[in-house]
Amino acid sequence: MAETLKKVECEPTCGFMIRSHDEKELIELVRQHAEKMHKMKVTDKDIREKMKTA
């Protein structure tokens, strides 16, 4: 497993940002955020595309 710190940022109007070394955890937390706060269903692929090295 890569130990690179990754981050995912939500829209600027939302301001949500999350960082983790654990890609699975990152995906899970972003998915929960999207569903809860934006009523949005996102796929793993969607989230991976938004991932950046922190």
Q: Which one of 1-9, 14-22, 24-32, 40-48 is the stretch in contact with Cu ion (CB under 5 A)?
A: 14-22
According to the binding rule CB under 5 A, does residue 10 interact with Cu ion? yes
Residue number, 10 or 51, with CB nearest to Cu ion = 10
22-4-8 Cα angle (round to 5): 65
| 49 contacts 6 by C-beta, under 8 angstroms | no
- Displacement of CA 47 from its chain's centroid (Å): 6
According to the binding rule CB under 5 A, does residue 14 interact with Cu ion? yes
| Footprint on this chain of Cu ion (rule: CB under 5 A) | 10, 14, 16, 37
